[in-house]
Structure 1
């Protein structure tokens, strides 16, 4: 395998595909996280709804991503729309579960103390419950990010952006010139993106989580 020979002269293309993959992953995780937090904040005080949400988020992760992507072709066509929708859906699932668990695990005594000094419900959520639940929520975001960076490779199936096109093209041409190098390069770059994102999230945790909650 002549990996260096394949990479030489293709730096611009590889950099662009890497940027596409990282950008798509980042955007879908951000959107999925916002949706997940909104859902979690809506249901965490309601035992039946929160239990149903937890179960649903876990079951949703068993849906084959390729099958969901194929189903989205019918209403959304090819390219970015089905790719973004599928990835944002899966990105939300781990965060929903962790956000509900984190919010429900805040000690009731802290909530009562905040209520006792006259804080309204929304202030208690923003200034007490969410900060206390943040370490658990951030863990969910890390899991979601690692999963999405990997799953994003399959959007090449619907002509989506990113490094998946290298892997798909390489595997479809196995035995041909540069086929193995193409697939291997795509895989290595996806792993590199995952490692960089995880390092950034670890740094975010260091900056935003008080030492007493780590």
Structure 2
């Protein structure tokens, strides 16, 4: 424990920077995945066949091991941000697409028909009624994607991606040295703690952005 504490104290500034980069990369990638996933969900949720195809394609990405996907992306996009962002966005799509489709499909058609009956356009109904009603489901998909992305980003250090993964890889590469275990353990604990903090933030965002009637 003394070695771990000494490592954390001695590297606290670098650990803070790596933690910031890790969280920042995850949030940005999940936001990109949310824009794409919600758009895809909106386009296909009325079509059972379209929903099945979109979900199946997004599911296929999850069957590809992280190392393999990064290895395929590196020759195309090089090292660093390119393959890291692409991989995280692709892995984050499935929960968001699926939850968007589920949330929109669960909206009572009578509510949408009533809105159309008072003169609202299809886009207005989607923006003002259907998406707000589906928002809790979409937010749940974002939470799941965020937790996945926190772990996957650590593996993206293989492609020289930002964040705490570099600490893990550095520790594993120095197995047998005095700093190997503190490095790997510190990186792991920080990723877990940051993931829990982000999940708590999502819960708070859900309470602040979901109307009481929908929550109840």
Tell me the distance in 1 between the aligned counterparts of 2:11 and 2:177: 18
Gaps spanning 5+ residues in structure 1: where?
A: none
1:113 aligns with 2:142: no
Show the counterpart of 1:136.
137
Query: 1:127-206 to 2 correspondence within 5 Å?
Result: 127-206=128-207
Tell me the distance in 2 between the aligned counterparts of 1:10 and 1:185: 10
Q: Output the TM-score relative to the length of structure 2.
A: 0.96
> What is the number of residues matched between the two proteins?
214
Show the counterpart of 1:62.
63
Tell me the distance in 2 between the aligned counterparts of 1:104 and 1:200: 27
Tell me the distance in 2 between the aligned counterparts of 1:91 and 1:65: 12
Residue 54 of structure 1 contacts residue 100 of structure 1 at CA under 8 Å; is this kept in 2?
no
After TM superposition, give the deviation of residue 47 of structure 1 in Å.
2.4
Residues 2-33 of structure 1: per-residue CA shift (max 9 Å, x gap): 21111122111111111111111111011011
Tell me the distance in 2 between the aligned counterparts of 1:137 and 1:8: 39
1:76 aligns with 2:73: no
| Cα RMSD for the two superposed structures | 1.1
Tell me the distance in 1 between the aligned counterparts of 2:21 and 2:58: 27
After TM superposition, give the deviation of residue 151 of structure 1 in Å.
0.9
Residue 58 of structure 2 contacts residue 90 of structure 2 at CA under 8 Å; is this kept in 1?
no
Show the counterpart of 2:28.
27
Residues 71-94 of structure 1: per-residue CA shift (max 9 Å, x gap): 000110111111111111111221
Residues 114-133 of structure 1: per-residue CA shift (max 9 Å, x gap): 11111100001001110111
Gaps spanning 5+ residues in structure 2: where?
A: none
After TM superposition, give the deviation of residue 212 of structure 1 in Å.
2.7
Show the counterpart of 1:48.
49
Residue 30 of structure 2 contacts residue 146 of structure 2 at CA under 8 Å; is this kept in 1?
yes
Tell me the distance in 2 between the aligned counterparts of 1:47 and 1:195: 35
